[in-house]
């Protein structure tokens, strides 16, 4: 059957499902979708075509549900509007005033999502940065995101700005290829912590965007552990050319890239050794409460002072993170970290007041 005929049938099926608020049987659908119309009992060929259509639409992200009847037979189908349409983006006010929801055809059952002006700018800039990577699928996704922002939100907030450079992205397609085909990657890498540049051969698990940078999450056999490599510090990236159709490794079954990315802090990233840093929280509030949950609880002498232990790869980043709590979070061990903490305090204080700080 010509491709355009299949597309027309798909559109008819989607429209028929979206018109219904309750599950509908194939018999009812066949009266509304010209491509499924028949006389008498449907043929096996027609039923197979319907099954293929559902499978292909589901693979494309159209969440057609199969509803099991009371007798145990799967005989009805449903497509919820909230599972099909993207939410309409509405601009919220910093003052807390309710955003104005548009009226008119098509908006009645459409879900909505309120965003603040600064969140809108952040979303736009993120999409623009992804677009500069040059990877075709990511570029396509970023373009669609930008069109959505321009359609729903005020022009001055959603209009594209000049592209923001994101460092060296020429090797991004090679990294993605290694991740997708599970092939080992070889590259030279500059480690800020050690101040050295050396060759690495790793097993790539995935690419994540954290703290304003792209990172490759990979197992490093030489270090006997999982590491994060900032893509902008890589050079001479090469995908293992041997046995191109055969994976070089297997990603552990318990590794979830999405969950892994959600749990990472900037001071946990990098290729340096992990050190334990103990922190005393002298005052507990909402911000410090969230920070305390990231560390391991330690015994405290009093109920008013809490202690937590953190696994840190980047000491300088961790201490700057503590600095943001305005003295409510203070490192107490090991001694070398405490000394670095007071050096950071002294530097920050002198930069703002030209005064001296004594430990």
* SS3 assignment for 27-94: HHHHCCCHHHCCCCCCCHHHHHHHHHHHHHHHHCCCCCEEEECCCCCEEEEECCHHHHCCCEEEECCC
Entry pTM: 0.44
User: Domain map of the chain by residue range?
Assistant: 3-83, 88-95+111-158, 172-257, 275-353
Instruction: Please list the ranges in the chain whose pLDDT falls under 50.
Output: 1, 162-167, 355, 357, 359
CATH match for 172-257 among 2.30.30, 2.40.128, 1.10.20, 3.30.390: 2.30.30
Query: Which class is domain 3-83?
Result: mainly alpha
**pLDDT of 164:** 45
**pLDDT of 61:** 84
Cα torsion for 102, 104, 106, 111, to the nearest 10°? 30
**pLDDT of 350:** 77
CB 50 within 8 A of CB 32: no
**pLDDT of 72:** 64
Cα torsion for 89, 91, 94, 96, to the nearest 10°? -80
């Amino acid at each position: 059957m010509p491709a355009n005929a299949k597309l027309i049938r798909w559109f008819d099926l989607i429209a028929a499902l979206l018109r219904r608020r309750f599950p509908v049987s194939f018999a009812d659908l066949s009266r509304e979708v010209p491509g499924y119309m028949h006389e008498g009992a449907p043929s096996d060929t027609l039923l197979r075509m319907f099954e293929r259509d559902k499978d292909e639409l589901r693979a494309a992200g159209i969440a057609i549900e199969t509803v099991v009847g009371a007798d145990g037979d799967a005989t009805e189908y449903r497509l919820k509007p909230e599972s099909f349409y993207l939410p309409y983006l509405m601009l919220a006010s910093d003052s807390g005033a309710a955003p104005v929801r548009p009226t008119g055809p098509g908006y009645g059952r459409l879900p909505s999502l309120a965003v603040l002006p600064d969140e809108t700018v952040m979303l736009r800039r993120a999409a623009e940065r992804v677009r500069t990577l040059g990877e075709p699928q990511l570029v396509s996704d970023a373009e669609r995101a930008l069109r959505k922002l321009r359609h729903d939100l005020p022009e001055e907030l959603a209009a594209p700005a000049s592209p923001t450079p994101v460092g060296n992205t020429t090797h991004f397609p090679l990294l993605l290829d290694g991740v997708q085909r599970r092939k080992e990657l070889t590259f030279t890498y500059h480690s800020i912590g050690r101040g050295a540049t050396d060759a690495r051969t790793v097993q790539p698990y995935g690419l994540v965007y954290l703290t304003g940078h792209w990172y490759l999450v990979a197992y490093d056999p030489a270090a006997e552990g999982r590491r994060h490599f900032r893509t902008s510090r890589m050079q001479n990236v090469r995908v293992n050319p041997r046995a191109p159709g055969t994976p070089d490794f297997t990603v552990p079954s318990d590794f979830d890239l999405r969950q892994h990315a959600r749990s990472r802090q900037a001071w946990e990233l990098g290729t340096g050794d992990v050190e334990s840093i103990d922190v005393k929280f002298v005052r507990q509030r909402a911000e410090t409460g969230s920070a305390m949950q990231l560390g391991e609880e330690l015994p405290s002498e009093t109920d008013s002072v809490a202690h937590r232990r953190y696994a840190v790869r980047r000491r300088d980043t961790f201490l700057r993170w503590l600095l943001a709590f305005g003295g409510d979070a203070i490192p107490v061990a090991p001694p070398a970290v405490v000394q670095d903490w007071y050096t950071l305090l002294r530097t920050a204080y002198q930069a703002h007041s030209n005064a001296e700080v004594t430990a």
